[in-house]
Amino acid sequence: MAKTFVEELQWRGMIHNIMPNTEEQMEKEMTSAYVGIDPTADSLHIGHLVGVMMLRHLQNAGHRPIALIGGATGMIGDPSGKSDERNLLDEETLRKNEQGIKKQLSKFLNFDSGEDNAALLVNNYDWMSKFSFLEFIRDVGKHITVNYMMAKDSVKKRIG
């Protein structure tokens, strides 16, 4: 008997908790899911393995995988809990790294646009770069209070 996508991931120990009705949604129609990838290098590393394999199983089950390159984050820096500043990327390095990552992902995912569930590679730099500073503060920043930011452990560690 063929396993559903969720059953396959449960059998492999790749699911701990899932949202209610996830299995029903996956059986009802093609669904998309994404994995975020930091573009600070032109190569994937072992830390990407579980996410990439989940995307492969997703695509094998007829769904659309999305690899989301965090280009905007890579250009502004994201210390991710580290005490050091991160090396900032220029656009040329970002694009070079993106191409290296896509080449490796192509060994696991089908990006053939002729397929209904072709994998997508998107880069948040492509839409974030269109925001001006004032638009970003007006449209996005208004949802993030100083108290919210100060409650974050990562912010407390950087300031403290």
- Domains of the chain plus CATH, in order, are 29-129 (3.40.50.620), 133-160 (no CATH)
The pTM is what?
A: 0.80
What is the pLDDT, as a whole number, of residue 2? 64
What is the pLDDT, as a whole number, of residue 84? 62
What is the pLDDT, as a whole number, of residue 3? 83
| Helices of type H across the chain | 5-11, 22-28, 49-60, 71-76, 91-105, 125-128, 133-139, 146-150, 153-159
What is the pLDDT, as a whole number, of residue 83? 56
* Bridge partner residues of 68 (DSSP): 36, 122
What is the pLDDT, as a whole number, of residue 88? 77
Each residue's pLDDT, cut to its tens digit, for the chain (160 residues) gives 568 888 888 899 988 889 999 999 999 999 999 999 999 899 999 999 999 999 999 999 999 999 999 998 888 765 555 556 667 788 899 999 999 999 999 999 999 989 999 999 999 999 988 989 899 889 988 898 888 888 888 778 878 7
Angle at 95 between CA 52 and CA 76, to 5 degrees: 90
